[in-house]
Amino acid sequence: MGLSIGIVGLPNVGKSTTFNALTKTQNAQSANYPFCTIEPNKAIVSVPDMRLDALAKIVNPQKIQHSVVEFVDIAGLVKGASKGEGLGNQFLANIKETEVILQIIRCFEDSNITHVEGSIDPLRDVEIIETELLIADMQTLQKRVEKLIKSAKSGTEREAKAQLEVAQTLLKHIEDGNAVRTFNDKTNGYFLLLDKELRFLTNKEIIYGANVDEESLSVDNAFVTTLRKYASKQGAEVIKLCSKIEEELVGLSDEEVAEFLKDLGVQESGLDTIIRLGFQKLGLISYFTAGIKEVRAWTIHKGDKAPVAAGVIHKDFEKGFIRAEVIAYEDFIKYNGEAKAKEAGAMRVEGKDYIVKDGDIMHFRFNV
């Protein structure tokens, strides 16, 4: 789908350790010094979905396939990145390519792990990152405004004046210290054009990953409480994780993981929560196909119609789409499979205008 979540944070906050655990690999080198991650590491991660297991119990397939989402581990950011400090410019270019930002914020004390700013202060760390992103947006937009002024004067671009007006209003908004996501004219066509072209960093959805110690997993520590208050004002969510423990969970069986988490007083691994939330923030949903060969989740955008969903399996399915046979997930489970759901009248036949719902079990009829 070409959509990804960028993991950002200051150096030594547990970002690469989180990435290692997230991808169940050890290919993102984690070391106790800044900039050990230079090339952004990319990984495709399965989206946890209990519904697939429930379907598999009924269908008994040869394999199960989950929806996936891409995470990108981006080099640690430092103060002054927008001026090229550290790996600044590279960092900002890499993050532009992602759709959602996962900010890993250190919310634990440990004298053995140095903090680039010398102390633990989640709000200061968030401010450093968000200020750098804001400055980068401001610089990008300033360049665009300069071009638009020239075009408006020379009359080379027909709509340059109208676009310039929106760009200048937005620039003032950013210069006043406000993120692009809080701009009040975001449905304006010229704004949408600017955002598509410049990919504003502060217009991206944010998830805050509070990296805590073991003790703080079941009960919030003071650092997490502070971060939650800040995030709720931003309309963002905070997910707690302990990157050290997440790494320890790698390689354990599902049963062992469940037992381990139960002992810690948590229901689900922080990373599983982050993966599912990230998938949601990207505006994605899953529909299912359930057969003897495989039970599979297919990824589509929320609001996609049946032919588009069919095209995810094969382009020919979209071209020659006739109809879709649909059973809601709840009905499939309730009637213990397709045959009985059909008997009970729970299978619907839907046409080209049907908007696919999350969890639909679908079978496509097509003609090529």
Q: Which residues contact 91 (CB under 8 A, 6 or more apart)?
A: 8, 74, 75, 77, 81
Output the CA torsion sign for 261, 266, 271, 276: positive
Would you say 208 and 237 are in contact if contact means Cβ atoms under 8 Å apart? yes
Q: Which residues contact 362 (CB under 8 A, 6 or more apart)?
A: 287, 288, 289, 306, 309, 310, 324, 325, 326, 356
Long-range contacts of 118-127 (CB under 8 A, 24+ apart): 120/223, 122/210, 122/223, 122/224, 122/226, 122/227, 122/230, 123/226, 123/227, 123/230, 125/9, 125/10, 125/13, 126/208, 126/227, 126/230
Q: Which residues contact 313 (CB under 8 A, 6 or more apart)?
A: 289, 298, 364
Task: Write out the two tokens for 119.
Answer: 């102390």
154 labeled part of a ligand binding site: no
Instruction: Return d(Cα 292, Cα 38) in angstroms, integer.
Output: 44
13 labeled part of a ligand binding site: yes
16 labeled part of a ligand binding site: yes
**Sheet of 68-73, strand order:** 41-46, 68-73, 4-8, 100-106, 205-211, 237-241
119 labeled part of a ligand binding site: no
Binding site for ATP, residues? 12-17
Binding site, residues? 12-17
